[in-house]
Every structure is written in structure tokens, then in C-alpha cells.
Structure 1
Amino acid sequence: MNNLTDEGTLMDAIEAFFEYAEHSFTKDEVKLRARKMLEKCIENGTGFLRTHIVVDEIVGTGFLESICEIKEEYKAFIDIQIIAMMGTLCLTEGQNKSLKRAADYDIIGYRGAPTLCENPFAVVDFLFELALENNKLIDLHIDESDDANVDVLEYVIKKAKALDFENETTVGHITALSAVSEERSNEIINQLKNSEINVVTLP
């Protein structure tokens, strides 16, 4: 993990983690790490857990297969929801094929971080299309920045409403709400309040 810049940005951290994990983790190591984490969760009374597992053109569905096996192994102790997560920040043929193959596994939905992508709206469209096609839900990391821009979140709200897919849509992070004007923030919050979209914010 030597590619961090002096700024230590979110993108630095994401790129460094993926470079390390995708080239260093084996399927057995993924299972070992998952077991350690689950044992701690169960010891502390956790009964339900949602996890986002990388699926892309490098690891394919290998990590996903490992976690599905772990879910089966621990099903008597904890209910695990698995989300197939885009491992790249752009739509590529390999990424898209891997996400489509993920539907063959025990997943409940798809995840992406469209705000960090070159064409965020295309990513949103692709993930909604994939979810509708495979009867899955959407769990997105949205506007996780300090930039005063929540256009992607607003696009997701309108998209979910137009497709009658609000109950199946979750938006997370949305820290950019703290950077926009109070007027703009209240506008978006009211849109969310008047929808059935699920929201998981950062502190």
C-alpha cells in the first residue's frame, strides 16, 4: 500500500485498499477474516449484518463465493445480507459481466459509489437496470465527499420514484449534505422524507 499521496484523500484510501486486497487476498483468507469478524459480532449479540463484497474484473466472483459459503456456515447464528459491490469506479466490460454473474449467488442487491465515478449517472442507471432485471435491491454510497454537490443523490431519488423502486433503494454516507447551503440541504432532505427510500448517514 505505497501509493498514498501526502493529502491522504478518500480516493487514495480506496485505491490503496483495492490494490492491496485484490492482489493479496485469497479466498481462504477472506473466509478466515470473515469468521474472525463474525465471531466478535455474535459474541456481542449481533443478529443481523449486511456486508458489501467486491465483484469486478480482477477478483471476479471469488470473494463473493467465499462469503456465501460463510453465510451458510453461520446461518444458525446470524442473518447475513450480501451486497455485490462494484470494485472499479467506472463501467467496464469485465466489471459489468462480473456483476451480472453475481446474480447467480445468494445476494440481495448491488452496490456502487457513483459519485466517485467519471460518469455517476450512467453508473446509477446501470445498477438500477441490473437490480430490476434480477429482482434485487440497490444499496448505494452517495455523495461521500465535502463537495457542495448533491446532484447524484437527487438523481437517485427521482430515479427510484420513477421506477417505483423506493422501498428497494438505500442511500448511504451523503456527507455532501453538510457542504451545500441550508436551503439546498433542506430541499433534498424533504425529498427523502417524502419518499420511501432508506437512508444510512455518517455522523
Structure 2
Amino acid sequence: MSQIVSLQTARVRSAEHLQPGSGTEHWMRRELERSDPEQWVFDAIAGLPHEDFALACWSQQPNLRKAAVKLASYITPRWPTEDGSSLLAHSIGEAVKRAKAAVDNGEVFTGRFVGVYLYGLTLHARDVARLSIKGVDRFGVLEHWRPFSEPLQPWASRLGVDTLIAETVAPGPTEATVEGIRSHMIVRVSDPIDTGYLLKHAAQG
């Protein structure tokens, strides 16, 4: 469920009333609605060094593609890493790179292969924890998105949030916060069997 924050009981009537701070971006919901998580995932791997390997992985293990699509539904292509690049592309690239390394090392059994892929896909939880997402709903109430509580674009649509405001958290997230968010990531993007593979065969990468 979303957290509703009322500032001194006053209702904020539009996103323009919010004062952007440093490290603030505005994402328009209508732009996110022009595509979907499936397409975001394929766009994210386009041109990557291991694009062909990723497509082969997803053909043989559709669950791994589904995990990437689920991640995309939560962070969208707009979520940045610390250097400003797409976190979605970075996370998928990390997952595919680690899966390929496992194959190259002869670690081809399913548990290890799936585990290292999911480890890479959820490795950059700190980049998720770096941002807070909020927006003004259809009633003028300021809403805060709780990480991995529900997919981001449907959350905005449900509440009538037209502009998502992404702000860098200051000070930065604690290790406990990062670990908590990563745990939520794993639960949200993976099924119980694949989560078991991650914990048993790739807990440390």
C-alpha cells in the first residue's frame, strides 16, 4: 500500500508546487505508457555485448526473461544508476554477463546458472535505494512509492499521478536499507524455486 503524506494538512494541487532539489528528475507517466515492460527489456539488451547470449538464455529459460520483465515493471527504463545510465540495462547486462561466465567456467547445471543470473539482476539494489519516488495524486495528495510495493507505472495510474518525481536520497541509504530493498527485489522478480537456486548456489555471486 502507498504511504500518504499531508504537509501541514494542506493539499498540494500540482507537481509544480513541489520544489525540486538537487538530483531531481521528473518522469511523465504518459511517456511510460507508450511502451511496456516486455519491450523495455528487449530495448535494454539491444546492442549489448552479450545480446545474442541473452536471447538464447531467455529462449531456454523463459523464467529468466520473466524475471527481467518483472524488474522492468518496477524500475522502468528511466531509473538511473549513479553515473546516469539506465539501471535496467545495467542490471540485465550484469545478469547475462554472470550467466555467461558460469557457462564458460563449466558451471552449467540449472541451479548455478539461474542463481548467478538472479544475483546479477538484483545486485544493484543500492541504485534503487538512492532514489525516492513521489507524485501528486488526482486529489492533490502527495504520495510516496515504497520500493517494490507494486510496479511503478500501474501505481501512478491507479493514483492518478501524472508526473513522477525522482529525488536522490540524502544522506545515502544505509546498508540495512540496501539489503532490505534487495530482499524485496528478489522476492518480487523471482519465483520460489529460482529464489532457492540463488540462495543455495549463488548467495555470494
TM bucket by the smaller chain? Answer: under 0.3
State TM-score, norm by structure 1. 0.27
TM-score (norm 2): 0.27
**Greater RCO structure (CA 8 Å; 6+ sep):** 2
* Greater strand content: 1
